[in-house]
Chains A and B, each alone.
Chain A
């Protein structure tokens, strides 16, 4: 183990690190070009006018700046924006909480058969949704919540459980069990430990699960279109999908719509992104 702490790095080392730093930035910039290329295609073609858009010019800038397909896309998507928010926020929050509790119990309070239970729960993520639509609709009808946004929310919470549980469990496995032991000796119970110790520690995992759930629910189309049939209650993806018709498609509007529909999710990423702070956990472990 270390004997001396707070030692300053030697000068050559600092020099080497600085070079390494430039290499890393160069790599990141290169990767950025690749990641943004399709986004560039989507934005540029979304800004074009249908009568001028051709595939041969897909890399070129639009000829005129008149908004292209964006106004039409906004008009079509905006009425459904609220529906998506109303459904995605509660199902993300509740999905995260359930996932965190499950993951905590399955990693720190193992009981006989808990590993089997976990594997069985995990298996749920491989179920092909197309194949179970008929059974799902019948079940929701029987429960009396078919066609409602809270019915859809429940479906999203349930099918999000396996992944949320998986991420939280495997995250909590990495948290030293000594912390739980110590807290228990200090008199905290199962529930107290969860709220006082595990939840604050699990911020990065919450970010990941939150991103995953929110994005999946936001971009879900299949459940949105089958569970809710009243167009005034359907999520934004249904409106996005409906931009491309059966016998005619205006690609400029579709591209613009995709960019618009992604903005709320992107905002979530930017807001949550800063919680990926390395050492957050490390710092709290030191005490």
Chain B
């Protein structure tokens, strides 16, 4: 009952005072003054991200620790909400930005997600000066920095790099089917292996299409494998029409692959599908390398092998997390310092070791990472860096959603024409929005 009374008193006073006053003109002025007072306060730093799970939160904490080591007096507020693309985190962040209430920085993928959602609408400030002062340009690959830039200014600091075009397999399941663990896999080799697995009664390709990004990610990997990085990039950049024969061929290949997937794929999340490979019930799974976290959690490092997705050797599909500098940040000085700290070698090493990604800087100590990540770091340094559409980097959010919808339908109807039409339509809308 005391709670109720306190509530009634406090809420009523606030409501009556604020709400009542706001009805008069004076209230609005009071509100503004309050905002100004908050802006001068540099005692806090509010960081919005979707690093929440027990596997991800420690990595974020490592960044906070690195920040507090340099700025011990600043209190870091961890405003994390689970679920990145299309999840609740997006809704919260968009709503806050629309309401002119930005955090001091937020997690975003580089590429079109950063540019279309935050830079072009005017939610971010350029940070080229920070890049220059901290020497980021010398230690980050140019292909990466380009995706964090717009009109030759940089807008966000990449912290960790995931690889989207992985193919993970169960070594002993493949061996039992008479397949020697391959070095690399062409598309035809993939189907030969899938046939051998099918003959043994094992699912060839585990798929967990309950997660909306999975059908899209699988399609983009097939597309990259069929048309190569050059055409892939042009397609998403709107420089090549989607009724390209290569796209149709990719549709046919994906349709063929669906002959080898688990029948319950629409009821499984990506990690549940990946577990089928770890448990030996399926031979292979295509996933970004965050899947390696599952391998570690289930202590299966010796059982699982990895490759590039068939046909994508020489390409590295980027899924890169970064943090921008907001316009109107409540604590602008801390915000800039945060970006300096997370771009540092020490912070990137600490973060990525825990997150299971690789540093965006190429000058970090490779020896502290395990064999999978060392392989990934080598590939990152020498391979063609292409953006992922399924994770928002290659296209506008409108196009990404259209790809999600089209790929979800495709898993059931396998209708290549419908897929091409849907993607062409989405590209047309994109072109119209851009003009």
Q: A residues near B, CB below 8 A?
A: 50-51, 54-56, 72, 76, 85-86, 89-90, 93-94, 130, 133-134, 137-138, 141-148, 150, 153-154, 221-222, 225-226, 229-232, 238, 241-250, 253
Contacts and interface: CB of A to CB of B under 8 A. Distances in A.
Contacts of B81: 225, 238, 241-242
Contacts of B91: 130, 133, 222, 226
Contacts of B212: none
Contacts of B175: none
A65 B235 CA distance: 54
Contact of B297 (A51, A85, A222): A51
Given A153-B11, A230-B77, A248-B53, A141 B290 contact: no
25 contacts: A50-B297, A50-B298, A55-B275, A72-B54, A85-B3, A86-B3, A130-B91, A134-B95, A138-B98, A141-B99, A148-B14, A150-B14, A153-B7, A225-B92, A226-B95, A229-B46, A229-B101, A244-B53, A245-B55, A245-B82, A246-B51, A246-B87, A247-B288, A248-B290, A250-B55
Contact of B82 (A51, A133, A154, A242): A242
B56 A247 contact: yes
B293 A247 contact: yes
Q: Is the interface of A mostly helix, strand, loop or mixed?
A: helix
B207 to A, nearest CB: 15
B18 interface: yes
Contacts of B51: 245-246
Interface in B1-42: 3-4, 7-8, 10-11, 14-15, 18-19, 22, 27, 31, 34
Given A89-B3, A133-B95, A246-B83, A55 B272 contact: yes
Nearest to A149: B7
Given A225-B88, A231-B78, A137 B98 contact: yes
Nearest to A86: B3
B31 A144 contact: yes
Nearest to A73: B54
Contact of A143 (B18, B275, B298): B18
Interface string B42-72: 0000100011111111000000000000000
Contacts of A153: 7, 11
Interface residues of B, number: 55
A146 B84 CA distance: 23
Interface in B110-124: none
Nearest first, the 7 closest Cβ-Cβ pairs linking A and B are A245-B53, A144-B18, A242-B52, A247-B290, A90-B7, A150-B11, A248-B55
Contacts of B103: 229
A247 B101 CA distance: 27
B96 interface: yes
A138 B18 CA distance: 15
Given A54-B279, A145-B18, A229-B79, A245 B96 contact: no
A265 B341 CA distance: 44
Nearest to B17: A144
B405 interface: no
A245 B53 CA distance: 4
Contact of B4 (A94, A147, A243): A94
A242 B81 CA distance: 6
A56 B280 CA distance: 12
B95 A145 contact: no
Contacts of A94: 4, 8
Contacts of A86: 3, 7
B195 interface: no
Contacts of A145: 14-15, 18-19
Nearest to B279: A54
Nearest to B289: A247
Contacts of B3: 85-86, 89-90
Contacts of B298: 50-51
A61 B360 CA distance: 44
B285 to A, nearest CB: 15
B350 interface: no
Contact of A144 (B19, B50, B96, B100): B19
A88 B103 CA distance: 27
Given A153-B7, A245-B82, A246-B89, 16 more contacts: A89-B4, A93-B4, A137-B99, A141-B100, A143-B19, A143-B22, A144-B14, A146-B99, A154-B11, A225-B88, A225-B92, A231-B79, A238-B81, A245-B52, A245-B54, A250-B55
Q: Which of A50, A221, A231 has the most CB of B within 10 A?
A: A231
A141 B18 contact: no
Contacts of A138: 98-99
Contacts of A250: 53-55, 297
A146 B55 CA distance: 31
A87 to B, nearest CB: 9
A242 B80 CA distance: 8
Q: Which of B7, B22, B89 has the most CB of A within 10 A?
A: B7
Nearest to B281: A56
B134 interface: no
A239 to B, nearest CB: 9
A238 B82 CA distance: 9
